[in-house]
């Protein structure tokens, strides 16, 4: 959510930003919120005037009564009563107008960074850099679920009977590999100075609305029936929510956190061949990184966080590339986002395994996360990035470490988490 003062002073810039995101249907909202804000501020001004007048008249009544001028005092009392009635109307109007302004401001997208490429959707994202040499072996790479099944590592049929499509059982060495990757990612981030956390896996609606747009909530979140609770789609949701209504001492920044959680997603509109198996699912586990920092430091932290993910994948011998998300592919709260894509030898192309995002002060403004600094209080900047998210990450791992005989090589950094195994098969 952007600052109402910025919108008031820069309406054309806000409209241009909306056009860049190809959301022209939201253009009328800018003028609408300016008019509502004008009415809101006028109501506040009138109400403040009435309160001042009420105080003055109250003192006048006391003076008149002391002089025995009862009739004049009653007339002033009548005037105070009329003012009180109008004040009550104005206070109700203030509340109504403030809600309307807030509701619209929650829909208007954040101002994207100047270097974000303009494009309608993810087909217009721009490649930034490649890390590692993509390799296509001289033997056929099976589909990822076929690799897992050959190692007695997955049971999709039972999962469908138990929970439906989009769920899975992992077993044996594949289940162990899944846990090993998460444990390695946890320790990798701890070694880079991040504090490890395990957050709540459910959040209240006030937190959900603070960390994402309404469109994202509808597409992603599972609601707990009869409760003001939602299952998290990523630990970012509850990790940022941890600081709701909090004033953070400036000297404690930056807060660098890495969190583990299961993630639950509706995945509305999921389709396509690569969504078969465990590519796009309703439940998975993830290691995340979160940074809360000063506004002037968020760009530098964005680069550091992105590099952490690249370094982790390269330590597992998986080639990756980074893609700058275009304007139309950015969620409304984000000012900048870069996807990390891993190489798939089977598909002979890259596919998404994570995303690094800078949300500037949008989440902090919604959740009232402020910093107490030398020059006063201000809203923090929040950033998040995927460290690893198996089982999707396992697809890249299995394909890039598969041997010709169907066994899977375990990179050295993972072996201590796999009981010393160098190969599974």
Q: What is the predicted pLDDT for the residue at 83?
A: 76
* 43-52 mean pLDDT: 87
Residue 62: pLDDT above 70? no
Asked if 355 is an active-site residue, the reply is yes
In whole angstroms, give the CA distance from residue 217 to residue 205: 10
Q: What is the predicted pLDDT for the residue at 215?
A: 80
Q: Which residue has the tokens 């160098």?
A: 422
- Report how far Cα 240 is from the mean position of its chain's Cα atoms: 8
pLDDT tens sequence across 324-382: 999 999 999 999 999 999 999 999 999 999 999 999 999 999 999 999 999 899 999 99
Q: Give the confidence band of 87 by pLDDT, cuts at 50, 70, 90.
A: confident
Give me the sign of the Cα torsion angle 385, 388, 390, 394. positive
In whole angstroms, give the CA distance from residue 213 to residue 208: 9
Q: What is the predicted pLDDT for the residue at 273?
A: 38
Q: What percent of the chain has pLDDT over 70?
A: 93
Of 380, 192, 381, residue with least CA distance to 299: 381
Integer angstrom CA distances of residue 127 from 54, 124, 265, 323, 350? 64, 10, 27, 4, 11
Written as one string, the DSSP assignment of 277-336 is TTSS-SEEEEEEEEEEE-GGGHHHHHHHHHHHHHHHHHHTT--EEEEEPPGGGS-TT-SE
Domains of the chain: 4-105 (1.10.287.40), 122-424 (3.30.930.10)
Higher pLDDT: 402 or 166? It is 402
Most confident of the following: 45-59, 145-159, 262-276? 145-159
Those residues whose C-beta lies under 8 Å from the C-beta of residue 375, and which sit 6 or more positions away, are none
In this structure, are strands 283-293 and 320-324 parallel, antiparallel, or unpaired? unpaired
* 129-147 mean pLDDT: 95
Asked if 120 is an active-site residue, the reply is no
* 382-411 mean pLDDT: 96
Q: What is the predicted pLDDT for the residue at 17?
A: 98
Residue 242: pLDDT above 80? yes
Asked if 261 is an active-site residue, the reply is no
Backbone angles phi, psi at 391, to 5 degrees: -85, -5
Side-chain-side CA neighbours of residue 156 (13 Å)? 12
- The catalytically annotated residue of 236, 242, 261, 265 is 265
Lowest mean pLDDT among 59-63, 195-199, 250-254, 273-277: 273-277
Asked if 8 is an active-site residue, the reply is no
Asked if 315 is an active-site residue, the reply is no
- The catalytically annotated residue of 259, 355, 357, 360 is 355
Side-chain-side CA neighbours of residue 364 (13 Å)? 23
- The catalytically annotated residue of 130, 176, 280, 299 is 280
Q: What is the predicted pLDDT for the residue at 286?
A: 96
* 78-85 mean pLDDT: 75
Q: What is the predicted pLDDT for the residue at 89?
A: 86
* 143-164 mean pLDDT: 94
Residue 60: pLDDT above 70? no
- The catalytically annotated residue of 242, 321, 346, 392 is 392
pLDDT tens sequence across 98-118: 999 999 999 999 999 999 999
Q: Give the confidence band of 239 by pLDDT, cuts at 50, 70, 90.
A: very high
* 171-197 mean pLDDT: 97
**Exposed (0-12), middle (13-18) or buried (19+): which is 157, by Cβ within 10 Å?**
exposed
Q: What is the predicted pLDDT for the residue at 135?
A: 93
Q: What is the DSSP-derived secondary structure letter of residue 369?
A: -
Q: What is the predicted pLDDT for the residue at 274?
A: 47
In this structure, are strands 283-293 and 423-424 parallel, antiparallel, or unpaired? unpaired
- The catalytically annotated residue of 275, 352, 407, 409 is 352
Integer angstrom CA distances of residue 158 from 75, 153, 163, 270, 284? 82, 13, 9, 21, 17
Mean pLDDT of the chain: 92
pLDDT tens sequence across 253-288: 999 999 999 999 997 655 543 456 888 889 999 999
């Amino acid at each position: 959510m952007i600052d109402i003062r910025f919108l008031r002073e820069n309406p054309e810039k806000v409209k241009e930003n909306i056009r860049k995101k190809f959301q022209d249907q939201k253009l009328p909202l800018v003028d609408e919120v300016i008019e509502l804000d004008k009415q809101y501020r006028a109501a506040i001004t009138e109400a403040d005037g009435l309160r001042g007048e009420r105080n003055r008249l109250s003192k006048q009544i006391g003076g008149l009564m002391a002089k025995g001028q009862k009739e004049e005092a009653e007339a002033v009392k009548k005037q105070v009563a009329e003012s009180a009635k109008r004040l009550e109307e104005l206070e109700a109007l203030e509340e109504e107008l403030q809600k309307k302004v807030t509701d619209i401001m929650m829909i208007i997208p954040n101002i994207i960074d100047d270097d974000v490429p303009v494009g309608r959707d993810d087909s217009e994202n721009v490649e930034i850099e490649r890390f590692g040499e993509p390799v296509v072996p001289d033997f056929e790479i099976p589909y990822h679920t076929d690799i897992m099944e050959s190692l007695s590592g997955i049971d999709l049929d039972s999962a469908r009977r138990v929970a439906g499509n989009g769920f899975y059982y992992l077993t044996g060495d594949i289940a162990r590999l899944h846990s090993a990757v998460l444990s390695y990612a946890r320790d990798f981030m701890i070694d880079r100075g991040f504090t490890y956390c395990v957050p709540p896996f459910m959040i209240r609606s006030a937190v959900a609305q603070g960390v994402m747009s309404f469109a994202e909530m509808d597409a992603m979140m599972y609601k707990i029936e009869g409760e003001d609770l939602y299952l998290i789609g990523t630990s970012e949701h509850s990790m940022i929510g941890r600081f709701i209504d909090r004033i953070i001492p400036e000297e404690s920044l930056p807060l660098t956190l890495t969190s583990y959680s299961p993630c639950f997603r509706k995945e509305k509109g999921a389709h396509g061949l690569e969504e078969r198996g465990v590519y796009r699912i309703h439940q998975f586990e993830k290691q995340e990184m979160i940074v809360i920092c000063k506004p002037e430091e968020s760009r530098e932290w964005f680069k550091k966080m992105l590099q952490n993910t690249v370094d982790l994948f390269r330590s597992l011998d998986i080639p990756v590339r980074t893609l700058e998300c275009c304007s139309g592919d950015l969620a409304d709260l984000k000012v900048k986002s870069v996807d990390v894509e891993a190489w798939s030898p089977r598909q002979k192309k890259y596919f998404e395994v994570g995303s690094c995002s800078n949300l500037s002060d949008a989440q902090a403004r919604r959740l009232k996360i402020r910093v107490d600094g030398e020059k006063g209080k201000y809203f923090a900047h929040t950033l998040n990035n995927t460290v690893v998210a198996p089982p999707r990450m396992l697809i890249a791992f299995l394909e890039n470490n598969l041997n010709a005989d169907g066994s899977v090589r375990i990179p050295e950094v993972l072996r201590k988490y796999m009981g010393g195994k160098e190969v599974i098969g």
